[in-house]
Structure 1
Amino acid sequence: MARRGEAIPAISLKTLAGNVVELPSAYAGHPILINFWASWCGPCIQEMPELDRYAKAQGANGTQVVGIALDDAEAVQAFLQRTPVGYPILLDTAGPRDSGVQLGNPKGVLPYSVLVSADGRLLKQRIGPFAHGEIEGWSAL
């Protein structure tokens, strides 16, 4: 399990289209805000517009936002049709060794966010949703 200040483990997850993305290397050179969520998680759903706003404000050169859904692909697809976001969504299966656990969330509480440095180290962890305007302060490097 990753600890603050240490490099996060390499995690390979699929997109809804089935493409494999390797974290953190896919975003090397950029900080990454990784947000764990599920379509059945009310607080997760409430914070997604705020994550989307932040991702758009950061652009291609800022902190990259990546959502990891601990959910099944069909539920995620249906949810994103109703509530689209502009940042990438990856899929994982909730369990004792899922990517959220590997990144410091052993109890699997959602939503869960981590901030990873441009060189792949775990900087911050947060359980619970972001309120409007909170992400900028939390993610400041």
Structure 2
Amino acid sequence: MSDKTPNTGSRRNLLLAAAGLGAAGLGATLAWRGQKPATPVLNPAEQAFWAASFERVSATPAAAQPAELLAAASLRGKPLLVNFWATWCAPCVKELPELNQFQQEFKSQGWQVLGLAVDAVGPVREFLQKMPLDFSLAMAGSAGTTLTRTLGNAQGGLPFSVVFNPAGQLVWTKVGVTNLEELRQLAGTIKAG
């Protein structure tokens, strides 16, 4: 009579090997999921924006102090709405209260708003005395027109708005007036980080 019972030692070794391979596969999967994706490569326009610095502006000048610079790179890591505007641009002035409301509503969700004035410091300060704004403001000056073209505004028109995602990529542009509802919908499509 022959023994047809399989070798229990071989079966045990196969089961242990299978369990080991399964555990290794699970460990590799968990490790892979835990890794953060590589930092995306930014295009030249995005790189130029993040390398730029702008002179901060407020309603009251800082007496006898050098201008405070705002490095765009300091804003990276959260969604950023940048609005290029000027005091002499009626559509720009019209949308500023809605941009301000957007900042108030979405700041707690990680959103930032930056107004870059394509203007002179004096008129911007006078304007801010009449209409204070809650978001960061800085001067883009005449170089702002070149920057807007680099970011996709071929005509150089104002107002011009762009949105960068937390990774620093340009994900939305608009020439012309934005409105609060449009910005709310946009905020719903971009993760805050």
Report the TM-score range of the alignment, normalised by the length of the smaller protein.
0.7 to 0.9
Any stretches of 5+ residues in structure 1 without a counterpart?
Answer: none
2:104 corresponds in structure 1 to 56
- Distance between the aligned counterparts of 2:109 and 2:181, measured in 1? 20
Whether 1:12 aligns to 2:61 is no
Task: Pick the aligned partner of 1:38 from 69, 78, 86.
Answer: 86
* Per-residue deviation, residues 43-96 of structure 1 (Å, max 9, x unmatched): 110100000000011125421000000000000000111111100111012248
Mapped to 2, the partners of 1:61 and 1:133 lie a distance apart of 16
| SS class of match (2:87) | coil
Paired residues, number: 136
Partners of 1:95 and 1:108 in 2: how far apart? 11
Greater helix fraction, Structure 1 or Structure 2? 2
Q: Which has the larger radius of gyration?
A: 2
Which protein is richer in strand relative to its size? 1
Kept after mapping to 1: 8 A contact 2:91/2:177: yes
TM-score normalised by the chain length of structure 1 = 0.87
Deviation of residue 123 (structure 1)?
0.6
Which of 171, 175, 181 is matched with 1:123 structurally? Answer: 171
Alignment RMSD (CA, Å):
1.9
Give the deviation of 1:12 after TM superposition: 1.1
Structure 2: runs of 5 or more not aligned? 1-41
Query: Percent identity, aligned pairs only?
Result: 30
- Contact 1:11–1:99 (CA under 8 A) maintained in structure 2: no
Preserved CA contact (<8 Å) 1:50 1:132: yes
Residue 134, structure 1, aligned to residue 182, structure 2: yes
